[in-house]
Amino acid sequence: MSQYGPPNPPPEHQGPQQPGSYSWSSQDAQPSPYPNYGGQAPYVAASQPGTLPLRPLTLGDYFASMFTTIRKSPGLFFGAALIFGSIAAILAATGEFFLLRSFGTAMFDPSAAFDQIFSGLGLGFFGAMMLSQLVMLLGQTLNWGMYSAMVARGAIGMKTSLGQGFRLLRGQWGRLIGLIALLIAAVVVVWLVVALLVFLVIAVAFAGGEPQSGAGVAATVISVLVAVFAPLVVALFLVIRWYLVIPTMIIEDVSIFAALRRSWRLTRGHFWRTLGIVLLFALILGIVSAIITSPLSFISGFIVASAGTEAELFGSVMVVNLLINAIATLITFIVTNMAVLISIFFYFDYRFRKEGLSLHFQQLASQYAAGARSDRFDTSMQQPVGADDEADDTIPGRHATPATSGAPFGPGLHNTGQHSPLNQPHYPYPTQQPPHPGQSGPQGPPAPPTPPGSEQ
């Protein structure tokens, strides 16, 4: 130990850093409670005070944030998925029941005619299956909206409950239902275009009779394939460019067509990146869903094999198929909701990259950590205002403006005027100063004294 002052603390004894807090560091990305002697180091905001890194996201961030977001608000994620998924599963099982009942024991008779097997198939089956798909589409859209608010709140460390998720959609139900109607109309238009193109290709190919040569047959087949896939490729391009419509509608509180234009701007220059990540997660989550539902087929095989008489076999097949169909529908719906989170991450990722929204979120996170959350060591019965996340319906990012040099409240900040602990008047976000006026940063220890005899 030197006689002129304490030695530098070892780097491995760095103290813990609370989410959303600020610490004194000499390195921009490595906060440390120990300053370097001989100079001041800047204040550095925590890069991930909540469930989402407040910076441009990498592929690994998409994976990690999906699970941290679910862990932060499991009641909203699984609760909303179970509500709509259960209804869809019941309707799907009802359609399966009508289907099996129409078959009856004729499905086990190899000599039964086709019309005999499907003679009892009526509106019950088709109605139940259509309602099941409609409920899944409605639930997917509403969950997409609730999860958008959940991700925004989780990014600054706030938890969102199931009831609060429905409450945050207040005023958005009409837009979401209108978006569903627009989506259904778009799907119908795409398939009508496909059918029309295929009809025209076949009509032209067979106008002079059936093609006789191999080249004519090959040209007809290729033309039909192009007529089928060309509209689908265009539709896929539009889906990727408009992939951020629902997060935009909920976070920014805009109309459907304004959200379409906004999504088009945010995804500009990121089409292939968005498409690649979407396909990757679709493949991974599809494999996960198949792994979970595959054992159900083995279980059904054992149950059906144990049946004795024909009546027992029919009853076993009906009960097992109903259960498997319901469980598979529910699991598929939950896994699909995990994919919904990825689209929401795209929205924040591109706003972080293009608009500096992360600066706004860093200030909100620091305000939330400082004044909107109770002290973990406080044993008193008094809690600060806004300590209960469920009582605060803030949606971060709703009134944030893109980062500009002339922004009245600093880059990416905007005063909303709402009564919320996270919507107090903002101040310019300093790059290397404490975030709150009047709050002084931690001071380093005094410089060591000059050794005797060293002054000349």
Dist CA 92 CA 330 (whole Å): 10
Query: How much is the average pLDDT of 28-49?
Result: 49
Interval 173-212: pLDDT, tens: 899 999 999 999 999 999 999 999 999 988 888 877 777 6
Interval 299-318: pLDDT, tens: 766 665 665 555 555 666 66
Q: In this predicted structure, what is the pLDDT of residue 7?
A: 55
Burial of 49 (0-12, 13-18, 19+ CB in 10 A): buried
* Percent of the chain whose pLDDT exceeds 90: 31
Helix H, strand E, coil C: the string for the chain is CCCCCCCCCCHHHCCCCCCCCEEECCECCECCCCCCCCCCCCEEECCCCCCCCCCCCCHHHHHHHHHHHHHHCHHHHHHHHHHHHHHHHHHHHHHHHHHHHHHHHHHHCCCCCHHHHCCCCCHHHHHHHHHHHHHHHHHHHHHHHHHHHHHHHHCCCCCCCHHHHHHHCCCCHHHHHHHHHHHHHHHHHHHHHHHHHHHHHHHHHCCCCCCCCHHHHHHHHHHHHHHHHHHHHHHHHHHHHCCCHHHHHHHHCCCHHHHHHHHHHHCCCCHHHHHHHHHHHHHHHHHHHHHHHHHHHHHHHHHHHCCCCHHHHHHHHHHHHHHHHHHHHHHHHHHHHHHHHHHHHHHHHHHHHHHCHHHHHHHHHHHHHHHCCCCCCCCCCCCCCCCCHHHCCCCCCCCCCCCCCCCECECCCCCCCCCCCCCCCCCCCCCCCCCCCCCCCCCCCCCCCCCCCCCC
The more confidently predicted of residues 18 and 336 is 336
Q: Kindly report the average pLDDT of the chain as a whole number.
A: 73
Looking at the predicted structure, is the pLDDT value of residue 417 above 60?
A: no
Helix H, strand E, coil C: the string for 161-174 is CHHHHHHHCCCCHH
Interval 213-231: pLDDT, tens: 778 788 888 989 999 999 9
pLDDT band at 121 (very low <50, low <70, confident <90, very high): low
